Structure 1
């Protein structure tokens, strides 16, 4: 008889304030379980990093890998924050110093080859001889992976072949699924040979797991609020007899006197590193208003148009969390102002469809000014007012002007905005009718920073 304990985290998103407790709990639990004869494995399910955190931004995610190394994970997979939140070359080297393998079966280079840092599956074996196979999947965001120089595939594209390769070589099959709760349920139904699915991406909490046949689904919510634990008992033939999932609330875990200093250190070090990089010198403050036009929103529109090399732009004021200037603006200021991991999106629409889009925006304008936004790469509080560059509206006559001239229904028009506009539900015309091009690798704050450096040099 063998006891196998699996500790797991997911969607930490650089919430370093929870890390000391998580580390203490995981290392302590592993030691206690091993002392009683159990086999212990640890996994992370992706989105460990988030570039809205100063130290993550300053180190390009290396601090996150360094912290994961402290646990001694047996494998990790990536989330969209690692996969599309980083330029291709940054992700290529993100795990250069990792002491754990990256299980990632559905991401490829554009030529179809597998990245050198990712394994389609990972194998390990317990002291009792139980053979474990681990397969990892990240959410297949085709729109965002492709322009970043990656080819991403669905589970159905790759998993059947992997199962054939693994057939007869494992006793327990674990899937690290950064796919979301509904995809996990589909996995359990479609592939009953899976024993445990460690889930994430949709930030769901399965406090006691969810059993589908013999497949146990688990997930530990988000931000390090919980740590998950799965306990399996196996017979002498390494077959699973019992399955149990638990989650432990970080808030209730043991604290130490040194924790506040460690947590503050992550923040202070990140800000200090970013402050070393000066960007521009503003002669006066660029203020932001959420209920109407403002200088910083206007500058953001100019920056987007310049960065995308187009003559029109649309942006929401809520992206700017603070004014900039007067005086020197550093990368720390830019991150505080624009923490969102968003990329630019070029949209081409016919005049007829552009008119419809602007009518959608005008209809939602007053509601969105104070709408509390959550998720989808938005790291602010409210959506705020909508600003246009190169576009104006006569609301009474429902007329849309392009650089002062009425739209021509069949003519094509191109403007730039941020990728968030494609994902939120308020402006469906962009997704349904737009010819859309995501611009990589620069994030919104990088584009604004470069424009500030050009307009207000040091």
Structure 2
């Protein structure tokens, strides 16, 4: 009997403080035949080093650990502009497995490997990757995205002569369960996206599904016991890295990346009298953003959660670093086209205390609570809503500038079905940046 060992982790989100512990673990435990996989969302533009290097810092860190292969998550796929993603892996020393994202002309990007075959313990191991198919967003960035099931079926045909099939998935746990149900010929799905902590993995339809939380707190280990040319046992475990020692050279590398990032972000873009911030009261900085967002989107009115601005702007110089710090979210502008009845429902819902005090994780939001909505060109008098001083009419449609996170389903499910347009690749802080520059000319000399 022989054993095939795989280490996997997912959704680091550029939380580099845990990276030296992960490197320490791999340095100690990895052997020549061990497989190591990153399952996507390694990069997150909330981190200054990721932002200013367009993700190249993340690839440099990955090169150091020499992963067997990686796949991409939604943070690489739909928060990076097309040219960033297309150039991200130019210096990578590892394969990027991805079967369901293409250029708009249908060609596969140069940095993508569709399938990979390795040999371990006398067995042919077939590998492929699939990522969450954000069908409305990828085309806005110049990509095509394919159904993961269609891509999986094609990859399995290419890997038909393999003894073991492993999927690198950034689909999320429930989508992984559906994948396992549809494709029992899979042996293992190494998962990500939903940040599930699967201590012992989950077996669905004979397929072992493993996932290792988020932020580098855990490394997953999957062992396959093989005998006489077949897998006779599968086992998944998690290793908590909390008490691991830190790898010294990695810490030094990260310090250098951070210093360089701060240098590149220390650029003054405007001088202002300052803008206060309040998540549950009047917020001048949020009012400025709501105004700018409405103009940016050529909309009639704007609605943003005040909690997207994490802090005030003090009087004086405004730098790129300040804008990144107070508005770190990979959130895009969005225009909703709503009839008056739906618009009033939206406005009332976002004013509910349960909504304003909600602690949100994911959907691009990197703050604490949503806070009260900040409105531009919308008022409520005596319980009656107006736009530009005119009562909202039930049958009329309105173009409302807002944040994309409101339209994804979990927060306000009915908005997911409304007509919308996403503005990409611009992020909220790009709008804030341009709005501040427009209001406050930077005088030279």
Specify every segment of 5 or more residues in structure 2 that has no aligned partner in the other structure, as ranges. none
Match of 2:349 in 1: 360
Q: Does residue 1:451 correspond to 2:435, yes or no?
A: yes
Q: Does residue 1:224 correspond to 2:209, yes or no?
A: no
Shift of the 214–430 alpha-carbon distance from structure 1 to 2, 3 Å rule, reads closer
Q: Is the 8 A contact 2:149 2:179 kept in 1?
A: no
Q: Give the one of 243, 248, 255 matched to 2:234.
A: 243
Match of 2:404 in 1: 419
Q: Give the one of 171, 174, 181 matched to 1:189.
A: 181
Q: Within 5 A, what are the aligned runs for 1:299-318?
A: 299-318=288-307
Once the two structures are overlaid, the 10-residue window that deviates more, 305-314 or 202-211, is: 305-314
Q: Within 5 A, what are the aligned runs for 1:190-205?
A: 190-205=182-197
Q: Separation in 1 of the partners of 2:242 and 2:278?
A: 36
Q: Separation in 2 of the partners of 1:428 and 1:41?
A: 40
Shift of the 260–45 alpha-carbon distance from structure 1 to 2, 3 Å rule, reads closer
Q: Separation in 2 of the partners of 1:388 and 1:190?
A: 46
Q: Separation in 1 of the partners of 2:249 and 2:158?
A: 48
CA deviation profile, 1:395-422 (whole Å, cap 9, x unmatched): x3x3211100112332221011110111
Q: Does residue 1:66 correspond to 2:50, yes or no?
A: no
Secondary structure of 1:271's counterpart equals helix
Q: Is the 8 A contact 1:46 1:200 kept in 2?
A: yes
Q: Is the 8 A contact 2:301 2:401 kept in 1?
A: yes
Match of 1:177 in 2: 169
Secondary structure of 2:158's counterpart equals helix
Match of 1:9 in 2: 9
CA deviation profile, 1:216-244 (whole Å, cap 9, x unmatched): 1111100000011111222243x212222
Give the structure-2-normalised TM-score: 0.94
Once the two structures are overlaid, the 10-residue window that deviates more, 96-105 or 204-213, is: 204-213
Total equivalences in the alignment: 442
Q: Within 5 A, what are the aligned runs for 1:322-401?
A: 322-362=311-351, 364=352, 366-394=353-381, 396=382, 398-401=383-386
Q: Separation in 2 of the partners of 1:68 and 1:456?
A: 41
Secondary structure of 2:136's counterpart equals helix
Q: Please state how far the C-alpha of 1:190 moved relative to its aligned partner.
A: 1.6
Q: Does residue 1:51 correspond to 2:48, yes or no?
A: no
Shift of the 407–212 alpha-carbon distance from structure 1 to 2, 3 Å rule, reads closer
Q: Is the 8 A contact 2:23 2:250 kept in 1?
A: no
Secondary structure of 1:252's counterpart equals coil
Give the structure-1-normalised TM-score: 0.92
Secondary structure of 2:67's counterpart equals coil
Q: Separation in 1 of the partners of 2:38 and 2:192?
A: 9
Match of 1:208 in 2: 200
Match of 2:388 in 1: 403
Specify every segment of 5 or more residues in structure 1 that has no aligned partner in the other structure, as ranges. none
Q: Separation in 1 of the partners of 2:22 and 2:149?
A: 34
Q: Please state how far the C-alpha of 1:6 moved relative to its aligned partner.
A: 0.6
CA deviation profile, 1:238-277 (whole Å, cap 9, x unmatched): x2122221111111223356776655554443223211x3
Q: Please state how far the C-alpha of 1:185 moved relative to its aligned partner.
A: 1.5
Q: Separation in 1 of the partners of 2:186 and 2:355?
A: 44
Match of 1:438 in 2: 422
Q: Is the 8 A contact 1:360 1:426 kept in 2?
A: no
Q: Separation in 2 of the partners of 1:44 and 1:184?
A: 16
CA deviation profile, 1:85-126 (whole Å, cap 9, x unmatched): 101111111111111111111112222222221122122223
Q: Does residue 1:144 correspond to 2:137, yes or no?
A: yes
Shift of the 70–262 alpha-carbon distance from structure 1 to 2, 3 Å rule, reads closer
Q: Please state how far the C-alpha of 1:373 moved relative to its aligned partner.
A: 2.2
CA deviation profile, 1:35-65 (whole Å, cap 9, x unmatched): xxxx211111000011101111111111111
Q: Give the one of 109, 115, 129 matched to 2:109.
A: 115
Q: Separation in 2 of the partners of 1:174 and 1:27?
A: 24
Q: Separation in 1 of the partners of 2:59 and 2:146?
A: 25
Q: Separation in 2 of the partners of 1:361 and 1:193?
A: 46
Q: Is the 8 A contact 1:105 1:135 kept in 2?
A: yes
Q: Separation in 1 of the partners of 2:14 and 2:416?
A: 30
CA deviation profile, 1:282-316 (whole Å, cap 9, x unmatched): 1x110111112221011011111122122311111
Secondary structure of 1:220's counterpart equals coil
Q: Is the 8 A contact 1:133 1:172 kept in 2?
A: yes
Once the two structures are overlaid, the 10-residue window that deviates more, 228-237 or 79-88, is: 228-237
Once the two structures are overlaid, the 10-residue window that deviates more, 87-96 or 2-11, is: 2-11
Q: Separation in 2 of the partners of 1:438 and 1:403?
A: 24
Q: Separation in 2 of the partners of 1:409 and 1:311?
A: 16
Secondary structure of 2:137's counterpart equals helix
